Structure 1
Amino acid sequence: MNVLSTDDEDAAHRGVHEIALRTATPAENPYLGVDVEVQFERPDGSTVTVDGFYDGDGTYRARAYCDALGEWRWESEAADPDLQASGSFTVGPSSLPGKLRQHPEDPRQLRYDDGEWFLHVGDTGYRYPADSEPEWREYVDSVARSGATKIRTWFARSRYHVEALFADESRESEELDLDYWREIDRRYRYALEEHPHLQFQVIPYAEDGETLRAYRDDPMVRFVGEHVQARFSAFPNVHWCVVNDAELVEGEVDPEVVESGAKVQKGLSKSVVDALGRDFAEREPWGTLITSHQQRSTGYDFADAEWSDLATLQDLDQAGGERVREYRERAADPVILDEDRYERYRGPDHPRYFFRRLFWATLLSGGHPTYGGNRTFEPHDGDEQGVRGYDDSGLVGMDDFVRIHAFFEETALSLAGFVPDTGMLADEPDRVVCCHDDRVYLAYFANPAGDGPETTAVRSHPQSTALDLPAGEFAVRWYDPRAGEWIDRGRVGGGRREFTTPADGDWVLVLERLSASPGK
């Protein structure tokens, strides 16, 4: 399947189609000095206008996200006659899942454009797009095999800064390093071809505080946002995160911080992030989701912003889902726990249990969990830094992703319509996380041996906890999230009931409502 077709080739439904326009007389400044727009007309007559982007050698490209079957038409507009053209192409059926959207039946959940619920179990692979990362292919292939469905990525080649995006570090030439951009392009395209269900969070500015603080005054800094959207917005496997790990300040940042060129954590004006978000939303042609990201334990300041589609959190030891449930009340959007502990940075004593507990607690709290393994925010060293394949890494934190997938496949459940319910718990609210819809009740029995998530192991005895159920009759099943095996336990009536896990370790309880009492 050709996921990125060109010119008059047939295109794939929910894939990308690219138009190439070439001029014999390139402008002196082909980046800031030329405006190229292409209007795409769908078969139903609706239109989308996108910016073209310069890709070297007098060539501008414009890309469409092919979200409708049938014949599409296009027409370009530019001052240069060489860049004025029109044409058509046909979009045919494909198995591509498409872009990520808020779920129409539950705005706090996500789904692909083909209607499939998106089970968010993410990984952090910041440096995947960087041309200095030699194991990028081994990394993304192993992530896909693990069952992860999202990777967090940024454009920094160095530790924090995105100077590699520009032809010169000072940005005075007003040119981009197109070789670097083309390599980023190649890696996202590879993932789309080989692993079309895998989503990428794209953080164009990484943690480059110096560049971000120049956003209002430097046209090339703003142009990065324009170029990244023109180049990648049509890709069905991306969504935007405008900044990462930001320490937000009201008003202007201390001039000494600006002068120092410090990274984002040293201070970034909240108004700059808001301007970034609004600019991305205003330009966005294909409805690509947008979020931001803040320093650990500072929450998410843009839950009410019109441009924000996802409430993204960075916190610590959220093994009970408290922070996720807090932000579910604040935002009618998906709540993403994108950072907690890393397995190799502030790592827990019992990583497989810690992360399994984190994932299940986040999911049943109505959120969307993410893993961190290697220190992918640092350049590749062949060991614990950069991106590398997981198969021989010694990391275990994602080992249970496949059993999370198996649970939802075997129950034929999605979490659309489920709500977290701490009121079900008669006792031990820190050891059980519950959610339900009108028919099915889910409870994760974490069964920790101690109190601190960082240090505790799973207990070597069964766990008993009382739950308050509504009236009715329920079929009882237990799922072992370590082995992926099921145990049936017959039926119970409603009211306060004590449930005991079938054995030691953590378990997931599934209660399916078979009937309700009269009048319910």
Structure 2
Amino acid sequence: MPYGPSSVLGEVLRNKQAQAVVRKYAPHLDKEIESAQMWYGTLAQVTTMLEGIRIDPAARNALYAELATLEEPDEEAASPRDEEMVPVADYESEDVPSGSAQLVAASHGTLWQTFELELHGPAHGNPFTAVTLRAEFRNGDRSATAHGFYDGEGMYRVRFLPDAEGEWSFRTTSNARSLDSVTGTFYCGPAGSADHGPVRVHAGAHFQHADGTRFLPLGTTLYAWTHQGAELEKRTLASLAGSPFNKVRMCVFPKWFVHNETEPPRYPFAGSVEEGWDLHRPNPAYFQHLEQQIAQLGGLGIQADLILFHPYDRWGFSTMSPAADDRYLRYVVGRLAAYPNVWWSLANEYDLVWSKSTDDWHRIAAVIGDHDPHGHLMSVHNWVELWDNDVDWVTHASIQRTPEGTREWRERWGKPVAVDELGYEGDIEWGWGNLAPQEMVRRCWEGVVRGGYVTHGECFLADDDVLWWAKGGVLKGESTARLDFLRTIMEDIPSDAAGIDPLPSDFDVPVGGVEGRYYLAYCGIMQPRLRTFHLPRRTRFRADIIDTWNMTITELPDLYEGTCTVSLPGRPYLAIRLRAVEGQ
């Protein structure tokens, strides 16, 4: 059939004649910053974004008319369809004793720490797809099923995160006879002082760990930090250790984008860039490295918000078939679900992953839910169109916007709101990555006071092209110290409060806190000399003037109640904190 608006750009560009037509009407295609991602878009999608075509419908029509004279190859006939491989019951012959695989497992575990069964089993054929393995773990009347995975060289693993102390038993199920009906027990002891379990949604719009410990996220962005090599990754971890950030947004797959155009040291599947990928064979070394870095984050008390798909891809991982997607997801979830500090982010900018439909995202969420016995948090991040966060499997909203809509989003969905992409401090060419530090801090304060949670990022040009937002390294900006200060303010709310909730506010200054006990008003770029508050009567409040940029707190000498006016120093970036006097 002829090329047309539904033709995929990458397929068009593989045809030399069609490529010449596209470049005739879009001569600056190679300079487009999203070009790697656009490769997988249809012409109709791409031509709404490319400068020159987007503003000239006549040129777009001429492009389609000229392409219509060329024939698009039958890709389905040229490439066999990737169908799910069904494991067979006779993967091992009947003379192999059931449950005969060598088991290595500890006799004791720890609450909220990953417990692992290591099984030495068969390696013929393709064990990644030919063998199924799971284990049922029991503690009294309670049970949970964890899915295993093949880790190469005849090694299989099943991982579990015990959520109760006492004796646990386990029993495996597999189509490989040697791996089937392996049984055992272990005793789970009390949690360590730093182990609080996975993060859950709490009180509607907030978070807490499974043991009830409050969790107040303050994130940062490190999309491709695990694909940079040992030396740079070590520097990144050292920077994180000295930072205020307790959540990291990071990609499972490598990324190809502006200031991140280097090949990773390893790839997620067997194969090569030149010869293509065997999507039936994950690369264990790739995922072993990823999980080691997740564990390192956990040791620093940092949550790993794992982005499972993204559009900035030159290797084809964003355009795998549904069957390949599902195999990848089962493998990743099997490997990582027992890590307590994992969150699932289905996509970064899902609406730029043009190869997937709304139904695909729902299917992906179902696969994750079916294979994660520990129920980790799950979200979908947008570019332009907000995801429908009403759906049951979405635990919290992950938003790309400035934070002024945070309260509205909370009320719309009744879920926590993480403004995960509100712009980056830096000095690169594009507006999303050259915020002044004052503006970065302002946006973070706005999001927090409006009842949400925020994520930082940095994009400073460097001779070595190491930008924190993409590759990690060393934090350079002025906002980090101010966000450390913000974190102390977030943590200083009443100890029995789940978090900061939006409170009645005037049109110009947002107010958040805990109704009747704690109020936090943020003035942003405004510089008032006074502010009137309507506090509860017969309750006295102490007032603090917080300079969010200079990181100072000035306690005022007077007490306030009812309708009252607080004098202010008349400079920008101030917050006013009002706390009820205890024991009055």
TM-score range (shorter-chain normalised) is 0.7 to 0.9
Alpha-carbon distance in 2 for matches of 1:359, 1:411: 17
Q: Return the letter of the residue paired with 1:468.
A: H
Aligned ranges for residues 100-179 of structure 1 at < 5 Å? Answer: 100-103=199-202, 106-130=203-227, 132=229, 134-159=231-256, 164-168=267-271, 170-172=276-278, 174-179=280-285
The Cα of 1:476 is off from its aligned counterpart by 2.4
1:256-297 Cα offsets, whole Å, 9 max, x none, are xxxxxxxx355642221122122212322101111111104x
Aligned to 2:184: 87
Aligned to 1:483: 551
The Cα of 1:417 is off from its aligned counterpart by 6.2
2:374 to 286, 292, 297: 286
Preserved CA contact (<8 Å) 1:380 1:386: no
2:398 to 298, 312, 316: 312
Mark the CA change 1:326 to 1:281 in structure 2 (over 3 Å): closer, same or farther: same
**Alignment RMSD, CA only?**
3.0
Aligned to 2:565: 498
Q: Return the letter of the residue paired with 2:551.
A: A
Aligned to 2:109: 11
Preserved CA contact (<8 Å) 2:107 2:185: no
Percentage identity across paired residues of the two chains: 21
1:319-360 Cα offsets, whole Å, 9 max, x none, are xx4221121111121111000111135368773322222222
The Cα of 1:502 is off from its aligned counterpart by 4.5
1:97 equivalent to 2:196? Answer: yes
TM-score by length of structure 1 reads 0.81
Aligned ranges for residues 386-397 of structure 1 at < 5 Å? Answer: 386-390=470-474, 393-397=475-479
Aligned ranges for residues 214-363 of structure 1 at < 5 Å? Answer: 214-216=320-322, 219-247=323-351, 264=352, 266=354, 268-296=356-384, 298-299=385-386, 301-315=387-401, 318=402, 321-344=403-426, 345=428, 346=431, 351-363=436-448
Structure 2, unmatched stretches of 5+, are: 1-103, 258-262
Aligned ranges for residues 41-52 of structure 1 at < 5 Å? Answer: 41-42=138-139, 44-52=140-148
The Cα of 1:54 is off from its aligned counterpart by 0.5
Q: Return the letter of the residue paired with 2:200.
A: R
Aligned to 2:579: 512
Structure 1, unmatched stretches of 5+, are: 1-5, 248-263, 450-458, 516-520
Aligned to 2:93: none
Preserved CA contact (<8 Å) 1:447 1:463: no
Alpha-carbon distance in 2 for matches of 1:406, 1:309: 26
1:370 equivalent to 2:455? Answer: yes
1:155-200 Cα offsets, whole Å, 9 max, x none, are 23341699921112544462112211111121112222x31x2101
Deviates more, 1:329-338 or 1:155-164: 155-164
Aligned to 2:489: 407
Alpha-carbon distance in 2 for matches of 1:164, 1:375: 27
Aligned to 1:381: 465
Preserved CA contact (<8 Å) 2:458 2:469: no
Aligned to 1:207: 311
What secondary structure is seen at the aligned counterpart in 1 of 2:489?
A: helix
1:81-116 Cα offsets, whole Å, 9 max, x none, are 32131111222221212211011xx12100112322
Preserved CA contact (<8 Å) 2:111 2:188: yes
Alpha-carbon distance in 2 for matches of 1:267, 1:414: 46
Alpha-carbon distance in 1 for matches of 2:141, 2:228: 41
What secondary structure is seen at the aligned counterpart in 2 of 1:424?
A: coil
Larger-gyration structure (1/2): 2
1:74 equivalent to 2:170? Answer: yes
Q: Return the letter of the residue paired with 2:445.
A: W
TM-score by length of structure 2 reads 0.73
Mark the CA change 1:350 to 1:167 in structure 2 (over 3 Å): closer, same or farther: closer
Alpha-carbon distance in 1 for matches of 2:547, 2:130: 60
Aligned residue pairs, count: 462
1:422-450 Cα offsets, whole Å, 9 max, x none, are x432xxx33x220233332323333415x
Q: Return the letter of the residue paired with 2:519.
A: L
What secondary structure is seen at the aligned counterpart in 2 of 1:472?
A: coil
Mark the CA change 1:229 to 1:348 in structure 2 (over 3 Å): closer, same or farther: closer
Alpha-carbon distance in 2 for matches of 1:228, 1:183: 13
Q: Return the letter of the residue paired with 2:440.
A: F
Alpha-carbon distance in 2 for matches of 1:167, 1:152: 26
Aligned to 1:472: 538
* Structure with greater helix percent: 2
Mark the CA change 1:39 to 1:235 in structure 2 (over 3 Å): closer, same or farther: same
Aligned to 2:510: 433
